A and B are shown apart, each in its own frame.
Chain A
Amino acid sequence: SSELIQDPDVSVALGRTVRITCQGDSLRRYSASWYQQKPGQAPVLVISGKTNRPSGISDRFSGSSSGNTASLTITGAQAEDEADYYCDSRGSSGNRVFGPGTKVTVL
């Protein structure tokens, strides 16, 4: 299956740590990337190739992967981290697949 599964909503208290997960069979073979999208804005890459953080992205963001699950961790969440987060990977036929997204609310 090329489907990716994400929890639709996650909340985190200001300054605390939250982990967002992405599950799918394709993650056993292909690495996941993570994108942050704020309302009315284009997505921004925050983690590439499982664990790499692009230049300019806060070190609050980190990625990890195990088996069929990729994770994005926000350590010390800030108000500006409130956004939708999407994972993506490759499907069984090599096509790109996005997860349905997780809305992160910072309380």
Chain B
Amino acid sequence: QLHLQESGPGQVKPSETLSLTCNVSGGSIGSSSYYWDWVRQSPGKGLEWIGTLYYGGSTYDNPSLKSRVTISVDTSKNQFSLELTSVTAADTAVYYCASGYTGFNSLDYWGQGTLVTVSS
């Protein structure tokens, strides 16, 4: 049973880079059994997929975010990270890290989410 916990600044200035980390416990980030996602939810809106990190290091991100996304892994800390560059007010959202089992589409485990506000 995985447990995921997001951490990072709650406020970011416009044009700067949003950086969040997801700490994983109950399993290894280096395991081939899992993949790792970031999902966000703007206030009052639905869920939006940001990107996925697969075992072996390959990543895929939402084309609507126009290549502003970097997802990386730190196996020594058992965590993975999100960087979103050139943020605007439209990037204000609750950001969730989540995980699913390799070969299956569903996200079985979710962090509690962290609100990031883009404001000067």
Q: How far is the CA of A31 from the CA of B105 in the complex (A)?
A: 8
B76 an interface residue at 8 Å Cβ cutoff?
A: no
Query: A44 to B52, alpha carbons, bound, how many Å?
Result: 18
A37 CA to B111 CA, complexed, in Å: 13
Most chain A CB neighbours (cut-off 10 Å) among B47, B48, B113: B47
Rounded to whole angstroms, the CA-CA distance of A19 and B14 in the bound complex is: 42
| In-complex Cβ contact of B110 among A33, A44, A95, A99 (8 A) | A44
How many A-B Cβ pairs are below 8 Å?
Answer: 61
Q: Is the CB of B49 within 8 A of A95?
A: yes
Q: Which range holds the interface residue count of chain B? A: 20 to 34
User: Quick one: given A97-B49, A98-B47, are A35 and B107 in contact (CB under 8 Å)?
Assistant: yes
- Give complex CA distance A35, B106 in Å: 9
Binding site for B on A (CB under 8 A): 30-31, 33, 35, 37, 42-45, 48-49, 54, 84, 86, 88-90, 93-101
Complex A-B, nearest 8 residue pairs according to Cβ-Cβ distance, in ascending order: A48-B106, A33-B106, A96-B49, A98-B47, A42-B110, A101-B46, A100-B46, A42-B113
- 5 further A-B contacts with Cβ under 8 Å, apart from A96-B37, A98-B39, are A31-B105, A44-B110, A90-B105, A96-B105, A98-B49
Interface residues of B (CB under 8 A from A): 37, 39, 46-49, 52, 60, 62-63, 96, 104-108, 110-113
23 contacts between A and B (CB under 8 A): A30-B105, A35-B47, A35-B107, A42-B111, A45-B107, A45-B110, A48-B108, A49-B105, A54-B108, A84-B46, A86-B46, A86-B47, A89-B105, A94-B60, A95-B49, A95-B60, A95-B62, A95-B63, A96-B37, A96-B52, A96-B105, A98-B48, A99-B46
